[in-house]
Amino acid sequence: MDKGIHIEGLSKRYGEGDTAVEALKDVNMSIAPGEVVGLVGPSGSGKTTLLKCLGAVIEPTRGRMTLGGDVIYDSKQNGWKTKDLRALRRDSIGFIFQAPYLIPFLDVTDNIALLPMLAGRPNGASRARALELLQALDVAHRARAQPSELSGGEQQRVSIARALANQPPVILADEPTAPLDSERALAVMRILNQMASQYQTAIIVVTHDEKIIPTFKRIYHIRDGRTEEEAGEGRDIF
């Protein structure tokens, strides 16, 4: 099995008895290394629940999840395969949100280097990794800047660099282009595709943003907790 994202028969039920709600119903999904896939659906369809399960934030009711070639959850084998879910999130999953959530009192380099340092990597190696990513994302000239000194587009690039800092096999992006205009939204998608290809990262993008939906080669629609795959336009954004 490759090192992407693989979900088999994933379900999540909230509550019990007559008040139980099936938020996810036998979801199946595969995303290969180097691939960026869209996840779309109306509010309440199960997108957030699916992302939280993938991010090891909530526990599914049943099913199996594999991230980066490792089974992280299997309901037939006592659930989570590790007791340290914090370490799993830190080391194996990168998160990108609608807002950058940069630490305001750390400069750009330290915002990115902090995660590898928390994982036990030496300070020098962590900062070198941060500078490598800033160079790749064309914001190396802002390495010593404070977050408040950055434009919105620059902040989002730094948040992408932070998500890649520990070289995770998987990145979960939740509405990363929502606050951006068309030009900047497409720029973010161009970067995500470039980074996915360069680092062989599997990326899933949850979005309502119609501006970027034509950029996906594959899309998963989620409705009432069930997913359906369809081919996307894969419009060239390079």
57-114 residue pLDDT tens? 999 999 999 998 999 999 999 999 999 999 999 999 999 988 889 999 999 999 999 9
Within-domain flag for 227: yes
Q: How many CB atoms are located within 10 Å of the residue 199 CB? A: 18
Lookup: tokens for 25:
């119903």
3 state SS of 24: strand
Q: What whole-number percentage of the chain has pLDDT above 90?
A: 70
Structural domain of residue 91, as residue ranges? 5-231
Query: What CATH number is associated with residue 75?
Result: 3.40.50.300
Within-domain flag for 154: yes
Within-domain flag for 39: yes
Count of domains observed in the chain? 1
Percent of the chain that is helix, strand, coil (3-state, to 5): 35, 25, 35
At residue 125, the pLDDT reads: 95
Within-domain flag for 238: no
Within-domain flag for 236: no
Within-domain flag for 214: yes
Q: How far apart are CA 42 and CA 54, in angstroms?
A: 19
Within-domain flag for 237: no
At residue 1, the pLDDT reads: 54
Strand blocks (E) in 97-201: 170-174
Instruction: Tell me the H-state helices in 106-205.
Output: 108-118, 123-136, 152-164, 182-199
Q: What is the mean pLDDT of residues 225-231?
A: 90
Within-domain flag for 23: yes
Residue 195 C-alpha from the chain's centroid: 12
Q: How far apart are CA 9 and CA 109, in angstroms?
A: 40
Enumerate residues 6+ apart whose C-beta is below 8 A from 120. none
